[in-house]
Amino acid sequence: LKEKCFIYTMADKQSCAFRTTIGGQALIEGILMRGPEKQAIVVRGPEGLVIREEELKLIRDKYPILGLPLIRGSVTFLDSMVKGVKALMFSADFYPEEAGTEEPSKFEQWLDRKLGNEKVEKLVIAFSVVIAVAFSVGLFMLLPTFLASFVELWTGSILLRNLVDALLRIGLFMGYLILVSRMKDIRRVFSYHGAEHKTIFCYEKGLELTVENVRPQPKHHP
């Protein structure tokens, strides 16, 4: 990545802003922002903002073969999911628990004794990623394809089958988003997702990162 300098006039003064690629993810009462070399997590905790900045350690840097074409896409996707789940679990630690929270189950206590906190956390992250991928592929890819195959009972048109497949995928995806957005906690996460988009728009326009400059930016991803 090259450093680009943008000159713009603000109050008769010129400023030079460093530009880089950046993306983000909504968390529980916070966001994760990631650049090429670092990522930062900001969570609104009970006692104020909690900020955690860390260097990005990519698995393909340790194993160069995983950076080859046709491989690196899947590797990067899984690596991003793992880092995203870790950040989500980190943010959940600051989420105020409801009164009367139950004690850990016997199974959870047994896992903690046998494996320890660190190994249990890795197990939960791995399980979460596997379930998320399986759910996404099953619900949004395999299920529509399976349902669209019944079109062949009435017609042999490949075009019609592909059209039905596409409409089912769009319908399932939009239906899923509409349903989960009705959940109070998820709707709150979606709000942070919109705030993340607003912040990136503000940054890419070379504006100072203030609430006043971020608020009027669009919340929808291009």
Tell me the pLDDT tens digit for each residue of 7-20: 333 343 434 455 67
Span 56-61, mean pLDDT?
81
Residues found in the chain:
222
Cβ-based neighbours of 82, under 8 Å, separated by 6 or more: 125, 129
User: Around 122, how many Cα atoms within 13 Å sit in the side-chain half-sphere?
Assistant: 4
Supply the pLDDT for residue 82.
Answer: 86
Above 70 in pLDDT, residue 98?
A: no
How far is it, in rounded angstroms, from Cα 179 to Cα 192?
18
How far is it, in rounded angstroms, from Cα 192 to Cα 28?
8
Highest mean pLDDT among 4-13, 18-27, 71-80, 97-106: 71-80
Q: Which residues of 198-214 are buried (b: 16+ CB within 10 A; e: fewer)?
A: bbbbbbeeebeeeeebb
Q: What are 29-49's pLDDT values in tens digits?
A: 999 988 888 899 999 888 888
